Amino acid sequence: MSKQITINEAVDMIKDGMTLMIGGFLAVGSANKILQKIAEKGVKELTVICNDAGYPDKGVGILISKGCVKRCIASYIGSNPIAGEKMQNGEMEMELVPQGTLAERVRCGGVGIGGFLTKTGLGTLVEEGKQKITLDGEEYLLEKPLHADISLLGASLCDKHGNLIYKGTSQNFNPLMAMAADIVIAEVREEVEEMKAEEIHTPFLFVDYIVK
């Protein structure tokens, strides 16, 4: 059965209040056309899990600029001053997470692990509200997994089965986020006839829908 759907069909799956994982970094490797359509539709109260806040007019940043995002979990927001403003004035909840910790929390959500222990963030604002565990005389933070209703990926290539390849640096968080959501939608630039197994970054089993 074909996994290809239209961009409008993809956007119709995004409902108010959902949690979205959005792959890519600074709009590279992101499902930018889908994100634009979500912003135009005016979906509200979203929680977004992403590496960064994009730019005001591009990537996940357009959702923030248009007021679609209630809560953002990310590592970096410096490229989007609107995200900083909304965080400061209380319009958007912001959870800043060290990048390695964010990646591991997403991975835990994808493979069914209940959390992991790390020293990253001890003695900083990162530890606020988190459980501390002492193991072999060493103190750690317990970081819990992340999961989403829908993951939106930006891939370079797909085949008819839905296998994905990300060229260059566009891979980013996409393979991890493909494992950690109930539904996975990939926006893809090009379809090819065949892929070598060793070239595939995200196997078709993780991909529910393709938007070309």
Closest CA to 165 of 124, 125, 198: 198
Contact 115, 142 (CB under 8 A): yes
What is 7-101+146-211's CATH superfamily?
Glutaconate Coenzyme A-transferase (3.40.1080.10)
Q: Where are the domains of the chain?
A: 7-101+146-211
CA distance 12 to 10: 5
Q: Please tell me the predicted confidence (pLDDT) of residue 92.
A: 96
- Report the SS3 class of residue 38: helix
What backbone phi and psi angles, to 5 degrees, belong to 126? Answer: -60, -30
Half-sphere exposure of 59 (CA within 13 A, CB side): 24
Stated pTM of the model: 0.93
CA distance 55 to 78: 9
Q: Please tell me the predicted confidence (pLDDT) of residue 2.
A: 84
| pLDDT tens-digit map of 26-83 | 999 999 999 999 999 999 999 999 999 999 999 999 999 999 999 999 999 999 999 9
DSSP summary character for residue 69: E
- Report the SS3 class of residue 205: helix
**Number of H helices and number of E strands within the chain?**
6, 11
Q: Which residues of the chain have pLDDT under 70?
A: 1
Token digits of residue 207? 């991909």
- Report the SS3 class of residue 112: coil
